[in-house]
Structure 1
Amino acid sequence: MDNIKVSVIVPVYNASKYISKTLDSIITQDFDSFEIIVIDDGSSDNSLEIIHNTLNECEIPNKIIHQENSGVSVARNVGIDESKGDYLVFIDADDYVSSNHISSLYNGKTDFSLTLYAKKEGSKITNLDKYSQDTISTHDFIKMELNMEITFNFFQLMYKSDIIKNNNIRFTPGIVYGEDTEFAHKALNYGENIAINNEVTYFYVQHSQSAINTTEYKRFGIVEIFENIAEFYKQNNKPEFSHLIITSRIPKAIFGNMNFFFYNGYDFNEVTAKMDELNLFEKLSKYQGDSKFKLKIKLFLLNPKLYYKIWRKLKNSID
């Protein structure tokens, strides 16, 4: 097949429990002219064997790449470099998609397109945002994301390959948490519009081995990611976005992750010591926005221990 419209990139690391279902959901797509690129990132289980067995008799063009363990960013970058499609789609090895995922995304016209995703934890499926429009400018979309008016993940998007390759946009190696957010923002910066399909076609599977559950205090690494994005927007003559990141997105990320740690039983002194080490108290104080949220931050900064005690009482009363 010479004319490949879409490249589906799947990084894999020790995903033997899930990868068969993931690949089956891709193979059964109701879309012609796409390829599957699987990058096994040095798995020590039998993921690679399952990948070969699953794709061995598959009629869809595919490429299986095995590399020494280098991290998910490097794996995805290899997939980008090897891709031939006009558009790129990313699917994680423990997630799966509906049979119309690619066809719901592809239109061959817009720079990006987007479908909805749902979180799946055991038998529970949680649907997230819906949009009121069929298309949205990248400018408006970025602004909504930075204001946290939408719940967004990079894998919801189909990316025009030329935008990614011509602007040398890649995932930053070595980052455990937030590398996908940085990639999406940089890509969106170079596009004009996003076509939206308000159908859930991607299922984001949550389990004990998910990266989100194993990163511990590395979740605070999202702050550095957003600082990098702020500098990127500043250099690309978009000071509005840079300012919004510093005065809203970063403080909200700090506060949200702090509460995540408290909610999951992390020690107060450990959390605040880590925040102090990363200079997060000062960065939290830069918040400008909603007066209610600003008051919460102010109360916390005045007396973190008292805020924590009150938070514990309120949490226990709700539980």
Structure 2
Amino acid sequence: MNNYEISLIIPVHNSSNFVDTIYNNISSQIFKNFEVIIVDDHSQDNTREVLKEKFKDKNFEYKILSSNGTGVSAARNTGIEESRGKYIAFIDDDDGISDDYLQILYTTAKEKRAEVVLGSYVEIFDHKKVSKIFKESVIYNNLDIRRKIIPQAVFPINNEEEVWLPVWRSLILKSIINDYNIRFDEKISQAEDFMFMLEILFKVRRLVLVSKKPIYFYNRRNNSAMNRYITNDLSKQVYFHTVFIQLLKENKLFGVVKYRYLSNRLRMYSTVLSNAVRAIKRTQGLDEMRQTQKTLENDVYLKQVSFKKLYNPLAIKFLMILLKHNHIKILYNIYSYKEQKRLRKFC
């Protein structure tokens, strides 16, 4: 058995158009002691054939596996289970990475004795780019993580630096994943990596944020989950928050971040309304909004608090008050306008 320092896991699904991107990302890496695990999530096109043809003269170790389940979470779990590296890293099929992506993450982990390293990145909207660079390189112990990183990830307040938790741009010591049996929840189809990384952070003794140049280039495509209509979005979001609360309570942090969490929970309803107006038929969108109103009305967590005490922008609080009072048609028009305005930046 070969001993690799890093296992680089790449889930693919109908990704034949991105094979060149995948290959170029891998072959350009300065760091060499790594294996590539490509996990095919039941592609219906010729992704596997194109990959094999492109990689026939490769100069790196790789394997193409079939996912043990369905969805990106199952694909990543399959990659974890088959990995042989000391550290785990992830990239997505259509994103870009710098040629020193693995080198920077690995060198930082070794020099700082870190179990998890998070790098800076660039978010790309078509031809528009927004840099997400940490203000400074910082080392956090577990107490610091619980006091600062996790609360800010739950909901940032007072102009705090938002800590987004995508699994890409991260390097994770594999023993952390295995010792605590941490896996992606395959029932979560949106922000599944947030929950995975949050669980990781609760267990980490040493985390490093790297403020150097961006090393990951995240392509936010027009057909990404944030831009397309999602079926059963409300039930999926409710399940996500059920897991979210349980994780916070199990780690005895819910009381500390209660109002941050409730602010996140209130934002969930606004997100569901945004999705509802993406439905093809107006009647379907209105029906989903009515169901969302009933769910908010019966939400035992948000019933206990005045929206005034939450950290959401005033506009969101106002819209959620309209939802509580069942002003569905007004909200449909408002969210349709908001959605059209938001999508313009992708054009």
Same fold by TM-score, threshold 0.5 exceeded?
yes
Number of paired residues?
Answer: 318
Contact 1:6-1:85 at 8 Å conserved across structures: yes
1:240 corresponding residue in structure 2: 255
Give the deviation of 1:301 after TM superposition: 2.2
Unaligned runs of 5+ in 1: none
Partner residue, 2:51: 51
Aligned pair in 2 of structure 1 residues 110, 312: CA closer, same or farther (>3 Å)?
closer
Does residue 19 (structure 1) correspond to residue 19 (structure 2)? The answer is yes
1:269 matched residue in structure 2 = 286
How far does residue 87 in structure 1 lie from its aligned partner after superposition?
1.3
Task: Find the residue that maps to 1:80 and give its secondary structure.
Answer: helix
2:325 is matched with 302
SS of the residue corresponding to residue 18 of structure 1 reads helix
* Secondary structure of the structure 2 residue equivalent to 1:74: helix
* One-letter amino acid of the structure 2 residue matched with residue 207 of structure 1: R
* 8 Å contact from structure 1 (residues 177, 215) kept in 2: no
Structure 2 length-normalised TM: 0.79
1:1-319, aligned counterparts within 5 Å? Answer: 2-67=2-67, 70-106=70-106, 107-108=109-110, 109-128=113-132, 130-136=134-140, 137-139=144-146, 140-148=148-156, 149=160, 150=162, 152=164, 153-198=166-211, 199-220=213-234, 221-240=236-255, 243-244=258-259, 246-259=261-274, 261-262=276-277, 267=282, 269-276=286-293, 279-283=295-299, 285=303, 286=305, 287=307, 288-290=309-311, 293=314, 295-296=317-318, 297-305=320-328, 308=331, 311=334
In 2, the alpha carbon distance for the partners of 1:155 and 1:34 equals 16
The answer to whether the 8 Å contact 2:267/2:312 transfers is no
Q: CA RMSD in A?
A: 3.2
Is the Cα contact below 8 Å between 1:227 and 1:245 reproduced in 2? no
Distance in 2 of aligned mates of 1:47 and 1:175: 25
1:188 counterpart letter in structure 2 = L
Contact conserved, 1:119 with 1:204, CA < 8 A, in 2? yes
Cα 1:100–1:240 change in 2 (3 A) is farther
Percent of aligned pairs with the same amino acid: 23
Change (3 A) 1:247 1:312: closer
Which 5+ residue runs of structure 2 have no aligned equivalent?
none
Q: 1:266 to 1:91 in 2, by over 3 A?
A: farther
**1:62–1:194 CA distance, 2 compared to 1 (3 A):** same
How far off its partner does 1:215 sit? 4.9
Letter in 2 for 1:138: I
* Cα contact 1:113–1:196 (8 A) shared by 2: yes
Partner AA of 2:17 in structure 1: K
1:201 and 1:135 map into 2 onto residues whose CA distance is: 19
1:133 CA displacement: 4.4
Any idea what the Cα deviations from partners look like across 1:74-125, whole Å, max 9, x if unmatched? 1111100111112111111222212121122222221211112222233222
Residue 258 of structure 1 aligns to a residue whose secondary structure is helix
CA drift at 1:239? 3.0
Counterpart Cα distance in 2 of 1:214 and 1:309: 17
Q: 1:55, 1:182 → 2: CA distance?
A: 33
Question: Bigger CA drift: 64-73 or 287-296?
Answer: 287-296
State the TM-score, normalizing by the size of structure 1: 0.85
- Residue 12 of structure 1 aligns with an amino acid whose one-letter code is V
Distance in 1 between the 2:139 and 2:31 partners? 22
Aligned mates of 1:91, 1:291 — CA distance in 2: 31
Q: Taking structure 1 as reference, are residues 69 and 186 closer, same or farther at Cα in structure 2, changes over 3 Å only?
A: closer
SS class of match (1:240): coil
Q: Which amino acid aligns with 2:6?
A: V
Contact residue 89 and residue 168 of structure 2 kept, 8 A: yes
Larger mean CA deviation between 14-23 and 245-254 belongs to 245-254
Change over 3 Å in CA distance of 1:272–1:190 after alignment to 2: same
Q: Does the CA-based 8 Å contact 1:96-1:204 persist in structure 2?
A: yes
